[in-house]
Chains A and B, each alone.
Chain A
Amino acid sequence: GAGVSQSPSNKVTEKGKDVELRCDPISGHTALYWYRQSLGQGLEFLIYFQGNSAPDKSGLPSDRFSAERTGGSVSTLTIQRTQQEDSAVYLCASSPYYEQYFGPGTRLTVT
């Protein structure tokens, strides 16, 4: 079946611009996670959606970062006024229970 998809796969933007990253989870999965991964580094948790509960935003690094999940399905991560330190791969994962299934990621480059 279809896995988690993310778009775009690559995004190059100028410093100060806003970007939106999209995640389409596996149908029926109740949980959705966003992570950030810099080159050669581990996963940095950003935000967690579980069903209709309030999202866990404890990993968002600043108020320039926000995310929403519409209708319990598609999620969008928005980064406002991008900075060079935002350059990384942004990974989305969905989960039916506790195990997570990851998308291929969006590689963001801020110039």
Chain B
Amino acid sequence: QKEVEQDPGPLSVPEGAIVSLNCTYSNSAFQYFMWYRQYSRKGPELLMYTYSSGNKEDGRFTAQVDKSSKYISLFIRDSQPSDSATYLCAMSGASYDKVIFGPGTSLSVIP
């Protein structure tokens, strides 16, 4: 079992839809959680990061962490074609621990 799992997709949604992207993990020591967006032929770009459980909102993006279920989510409201990219979750156990990435989910938002 991989430490961090993510459905690779591809996920295709119409413009304006609410998108839910998810990751599960096996290491209960993880407490720092991040989401990255990667456009084709570009480096990953940090979207959001959170510590421990709960929700964090930033514009159209909401990150949610459920440590009891070892499950994190990224919600995108009012999705736009410009949101089409690969989304990677990442996590670590302590602030200076090595960060573990999920394999990424490919998202296409269709106009």
| Chain A interface residues toward B at CB < 8 A | 30-31, 33, 42-43, 45, 48, 50-51, 56, 91, 93, 95, 97-105
Contact = CB atoms under 8 A, between A and B. Distances in A.
B99 interface: yes
Given A42-B104, A43-B88, A43-B101, A101 B46 contact: yes
Contacts of A31: 96
A91 B98 contact: no
Interface of B: 32, 34, 36, 42-46, 49, 88, 90, 92, 95-99, 101-104
A44 B92 CA distance: 16
Given A31-B96, A42-B101, A100 B88 contact: no
A56 B104 CA distance: 23
A33 B99 contact: yes
Given A93-B44, A98-B34, A103-B43, 4 more contacts: A91-B43, A98-B96, A98-B99, A99-B49
Given A42-B104, A43-B101, A102 B95 contact: no
Contacts of B97: 98
A111 B95 CA distance: 40
Given A98-B32, A100-B90, A102-B45, A42 B103 contact: yes
B44 A43 contact: yes
B5 to A, nearest CB: 11
A42 to B, nearest CB: 4
B49 A104 contact: no
A6 to B, nearest CB: 8
Contact of B43 (A30, A48, A97, A102): A102
A93 B88 CA distance: 14
19 contacts: A42-B88, A42-B102, A43-B44, A43-B104, A48-B98, A51-B96, A56-B98, A93-B44, A97-B95, A98-B97, A99-B34, A99-B46, A100-B34, A100-B36, A100-B99, A102-B44, A102-B46, A103-B43, A104-B43
A93 B46 CA distance: 11
B90 to A, nearest CB: 7
Contact of B49 (A30, A48, A93, A98): A98
